[in-house]
Amino acid sequence: MSSEHPADPNAPYIPAGVPMTPPPPAAGYPPSEQQREQYAAQQYPAAQQYPGQQYPAVQQYPVQQYPAVQQYPGQHYPAPAYPMQVYAAPRPRNGSALASMILGLSGILMIPFTMAFLVPIIVPIAAVVFGHVAHGQLKRNPTQTGNGMMLTGLITGYIVLGMAVLMAILIIVMLLIFGSLLSLPGFMNFS
């Protein structure tokens, strides 16, 4: 091995004539007083100029002064420069409006049974009753929410109730027609 190469193969290459300087301090930490003096006293060699190329001279940066930070016990951080978003508590929901909507929507699902048996007619009646109760409560207490649910329950309740009434009328008319046909002589006489 020649004398130009360092003994440690992982050591960085340092050209001859360049003074060894300690590494700069880690980001965010102020340098020690000794390091500040070394950086201030350090002279960098002039850059070598090649024919036809112009390189600027190495610029020396001034030594940064870091302000001393004093923390006192119980000291709090300053208030933010922007206003904080304040969220209001959600308004309470009206239970009668919710019941009206659930009963009205379930009444729509019971339409086939209503047309066949006329038994589930209680569900749309309950949806309409709960809807009107919720309407009165929401008028008296405007801090509650539920207008949309109340309207959904009323509308679906009235639609299902109207369909049930029409179906009942249709069944009564059909029974009257069929009953009058039974009274005719020779109707359904297969002999």
Reported confidence tier of residue 90, pLDDT bands at 50, 70, 90: confident
Distances (CA, A) of 113 to 27, 82, 119, 187: 77, 60, 8, 31
Cα–Cα distance, 79 to 34 (Å, whole number): 37
pTM (two decimals): 0.50
Higher local confidence (pLDDT), 112 or 154: 154
The band of 97, judged by pLDDT with boundaries at 50, 70 and 90, is very high
Residue 188's region, left for phi above 0, alpha for psi from -120 to 50, else beta, is left
Q: Does the pLDDT value for residue 1 go beyond 50?
A: no
Q: What are phi and psi of 131, to 5 degrees?
A: -65, -45
Q: pLDDT tens digits for 45-64?
A: 555 555 666 666 666 767 66
Q: To the nearest whole number, what is the mean pLDDT of the chain?
A: 76
